[in-house]
Amino acid sequence: GAVVSQHPSWVICKSGTSVKIECRSLDFQATTMFWYRQFPKQSLMLMATSNEGSKATYEQGVEKDKFLINHASLTLSTLTVTSAHPEDSSFYICSARKRTSVLNTGELFFGEGSRLTVL
Amino acid sequence: AQSVTQLDSHVSVSEGTPVLLRCNYSSSYSPSLFWYVQHPNKGLQLLLKYTSAATLVKGINGFEAEFKKSETSFHLTKPSAHMSDAAEYFCVVRPGNQFYFGTGTSLTVIP
């Protein structure tokens, strides 16, 4: 199967510090990765679309300088929350799409999510 | 315009009884449709998907869904609920390269 690993699962940090979350596709190449934010009891909110080797495309209202996304390889994308504040506390989830192939059935494969708590 | 509507934000069933989670969509194209399940503090796991093959799709853990174009629906069902089915369920539509998420249905299973 297709496995997406997200790390760390839980992170607590002080206000003003930066936190990096990694999203790795373990057994497939992902040309596109997506980053979501999920508030309690709500659906996923797409933050940005990350394409390997190019700049991420951010959704309206998402600060690109606040949420830095890097997709340096076909198996790794990172989200860095810069100068984190308590309102950035949330559950962040990544997902990946397989590189286009005849076996690509188009679904997204999700990481396990990262719970960020900013004190 | 594309959209996904999950008609029930919360469904409660007794263990051993049938489950029905409803999803309607609107799409300008023939979409692919997915159901995902999310357990607390976890990512989303794919239950099943429709990609223009058979309209009745069987997934994992005894779930299935039927694509009904005339009704623009893709309801998720299971004949007999299990306690482990308690989770959040998301209907997702992919008309092209974009994915559209429903607002989710929280399933409670009563022992």
CA distances from A3 to A14, A75, B43, B110 (A): 31, 11, 11, 32
More confident residue, A53 or B90: B90
More confident residue, B30 or A65: A65
What CA–CA distance (Å, rounded) separates A63 from A46? 13
Size of interface A-B (CB pairs under 8 A): 48
Is residue A32 over pLDDT 70?
A: yes
Token code pair at residue A51: 């394409």
% helix, strand, coil for chain B, step of 5: 5, 55, 40
Judged by CB atoms closer than 8 Å, whether chains meet at B34 and A107 is answered as yes
Cβ neighbours of B32 in A, within 8 Å:
105-107
Judged by CB atoms closer than 8 Å, whether chains meet at A110 and B43 is answered as yes
Judged by CB atoms closer than 8 Å, whether chains meet at A105 and B51 is answered as yes
Per-residue pLDDT of B39-62, as tens digits, reads 988 889 999 999 877 889 999 999
Q: In this prediction, what percent of chain B has a pLDDT beyond 90? A: 74
What's the pLDDT score for residue A19? 97
Token code pair at residue A115: 């719970």
Is residue A103 over pLDDT 50?
A: no
Judged by CB atoms closer than 8 Å, whether chains meet at A6 and B43 is answered as yes
3-state secondary structure of A107: coil
With vertex at residue B18, the alpha carbon angle to CA B107 and CA B90, rounded to the nearest 5 degrees, is: 35
Is residue A60 over pLDDT 70?
A: yes
Nearest to B96 by CA among B52, B48, B46, B30: B30
Q: In this prediction, what percent of chain A has a pLDDT beyond 70? A: 94
Average pLDDT over residues A49-60: 88
Per-residue pLDDT of B68-109, as tens digits, reads 989 999 999 999 999 999 999 999 998 777 788 999 999 999
Instruction: State the burial class of residue A2 (Cβ atoms within 10 Å of its Cβ: 0-12, 13-18, 19+).
Output: middle
Residue pair A70/A55 in contact (Cβ under 8 Å)? The answer is no
Distance between A113 CA and the closest CA of chain B, angstroms = 5
Best B37, B94, B101 residue to mutate vs chain A (most A CBs within 10 Å): B101
Say if B3 is an interface residue toward chain A (CB within 8 Å): no
What CA–CA distance (Å, rounded) separates B100 from B97? 10
Residue pair B31/B51 in contact (Cβ under 8 Å)? The answer is no
List B4's β-bridge partners, or say none: B25
Give the CA radius of gyration of chain A.
14
pLDDT-based confidence at residue A1 (cuts at 50, 70, 90): low
What CA–CA distance (Å, rounded) separates A48 from A24? 16
